[in-house]
Amino acid sequence: MKLNVLGLISGIAFGGILAGARLHEYDTIHSTLSFEDPYVFLFMGSAVAISAPLLWWLERRGTETPLGGTLALSRAKPEPHHLKGGALFGIGWAVAGTCPAPALVMLSSGALLALVAIPGIFIGLGLRERQAMRDLERSVLGQKTTNPKTPAR
């Protein structure tokens, strides 16, 4: 219950910040990726520059979170599916000029092409999920051993 309220509030804050930064606009993403304006690089870079040291410090002091136990950061090793997925994601990001969170803000900003982008993202994620299920079934049946991939977060 408390986690749901926190989810709603952090969603509103995240959507609000993205809208304030105009990350839901194709032009913002495109002008950064074409090196005309470094805005998105600076936006993401400064966010990580603030959060990385704070998270490091919070983990080191063994912070007990009110809703999720002891703070534990995840440090996964890179695997082939990370690189393949990242490569495809980057191509789609550049073509569609949006990514999952900004696409929702695009819709609330009144930009109707978000009604094309959002279903597309759902379909893409769904295709991957179905493929992962089939891989899992196959590995359970022992015909082929493939590791089930970690779900999207």
Partner 1 sequence: MFDLLPNQLPWFVAGPALGLLVVALFGLANQPLGASGAYVQTAGWLRRRSGIATWRVWYFVGMFLGGLLVTQVLRDDSPVRSGYDALRDAFPLWFVIPLVFTGSVLLGYGAGLAGGCTSGHGLCGTAQRSPASLAVTATFMTTAIVTTFVLGLVTGGAL
Per-position x/- string for 42-61, each x denoting binding to partner 1 as judged by CB under 8 A, each - no binding:
xxxxxxxxxxx-xxx-x---
Q: Does 136 bind partner 1 (CB under 8 A)?
A: no
Q: Which residue, chain included where needed, has tokens 């005309």?
A: 36
What whole-number distance in Å separates Cα of residue 56 and Cα of residue 73?
Answer: 9
For residue 65, what is the DSSP state? E
Interface pick for partner 1 out of 60, 62, 70, 144 (rule CB under 8 A): 70
Cβ(107)–Cβ(121) under 8 Å? Answer: no
How long is the chain?
153
Q: Does 21 bind partner 1 (CB under 8 A)?
A: yes
CB of 68 to partner 1, least distance (A): 3
Sign of CA dihedral 49, 29, 15, 124: negative
CB of 145 to partner 1, least distance (A): 18
CB of 1 to partner 1, least distance (A): 9
Nearest to 98 by CA among 116, 125, 123: 116
Q: Does 11 bind partner 1 (CB under 8 A)?
A: yes
Q: Does 33 bind partner 1 (CB under 8 A)?
A: yes
